[in-house]
Homo-oligomer: A and B are copies of this chain.
Amino acid sequence: MAKNKTIVMKFGGSSVANTEKIDNVCNKIIYAKKNVGNVVVTVSAMGKTTDQLIELARSVTSSGSRREMDVLLSTGEQVSIAMLALALHERGYESISFTGIQAGILTDSVHSEAKIIKINASRIVKELKDDKIVIVAGFQGIDKEGNITTLGRGGSDTTAVAVAAALHADYCEIYTDVDGVYTTDPNIDANAKKIERLSYDEMLELASSGAKVLHLRAVEFAKKYDVVINLRSSFNENEGTWIMDDINDKEKMEKPVVTGVTHDNNQIKVTVFGLKDIPGIASKLFGLLAGQDINVDLIVQNVSEENIATISFTIKGEDLDITEKTLERLKENIDYSKIDIDEEVAKVSIIGSGMQSHPGVASKMFKILADTGINIEMISTSPIRISCIIRKSKIKNAVKVLHKGFVTETDNI
């Protein structure tokens, strides 16, 4: 490695949960400082700190002003940056910590779910020129009135990528408890292999269809600002998975058709029966659900005679309560006969930017599932992803046969 590079290293809460782990993180930072050049570190709150602070707040309030919750929660990362800077000083390395405000991370004013608008990195740049290791609190920023904001769960990934973008860093290392992104969940299929390289679009589809390894917004940010991400383990030296743009068409051609198989058990299928007055009914239904911030995933609509329709859609498990309440209220505006909630479904997806140039991927997927006796209840596709809703009891089997058919036996297309 050349010594004139700039990198951003991000460590999650479990990587700094105790003294021993902080020491391990220091090893990685010091190694990078010696071998790479400019090092900026982004870090989350130690261990379970954020949960403990939420618990503390609940002892005095049931609702909780979001502005004040952000003031409270942002202390978690502030403790981490100070601890890491102190530990690096102890090892003889010059380092300086910055809170979100000090790092110049400007966000919108949506407390607890703020989005980064821009980063004024001049102070970071100054300290890097002084050869210091700069440590930036993840997950937090300020709005233009100077209020403390937080970016929501997983926001430290976004901070790391945004800082890397602002510094035009060579790459952004995101340390986690796995070796990288896998072709499927190794807990389900022991044949899962680490993926060496992914495009942003593939990573976005993987993240949004069940792979929990990287925060969706961080990938969106990386794609927008062309930040190269290296996702790797805190606990070993393996190189991990690189996430970056496809460089050229030749590379694209040589890629496997299917990069990964994901699954998502956190799906609930909602079916609305006996919907009358078809024109505009679907948009009305989904408009109202969207107004409640309910994320609807797959949709199937069957229209019978006499303009009576059945609409099925999937939602995330945590949105069930609000969905039921919204549908109840809906009865005043929309005429339907009954609602069915089915929690025994799951989603299996295959993802790969290679499939854009390979017709027949979908039909092969359906055939594999059919041959295994797995019934497909709903289907959705993007140019680089095909997802099927199936019975939850079949999900492990579906992952295995699809992984075997598309990844392990790659010459099988």
Chain A residues with CB under 8 Å of chain B are: 19, 22-23, 53, 56-57, 59-65, 67-69, 71-72, 74-75, 78-79, 81-83, 85-87, 89-90, 96-97, 99, 101-102, 123, 146-148
Contacts and interface: CB of A to CB of B under 8 A. Distances in A.
B68 A97 contact: yes
A96 B68 CA distance: 8
Contact of A78 (B56, B78, B83, B87): B78
Give 6 nearest A-B pairs by CB, closest first: A72-B82, A75-B75, A71-B82, A60-B87, A61-B90, A68-B85
Contacts of A59: 19
Contacts of A101: 101, 146
Contact of A22 (B60, B72, B97): B60
A65 B82 CA distance: 9
A72 B69 CA distance: 19
A78 B75 CA distance: 7
A83 B57 contact: yes
Given A61-B87, A102-B146, A56 B79 contact: yes
A83 B19 CA distance: 28
B72 A57 contact: no
A23 B61 CA distance: 11
Contacts of A97: 68, 71
Nearest to A97: B71
Given A19-B59, A82-B57, A83-B57, A89 B72 contact: no
A107 to B, nearest CB: 15
Contacts of A63: 89-90
Given A57-B86, A69-B86, A99 B19 contact: no
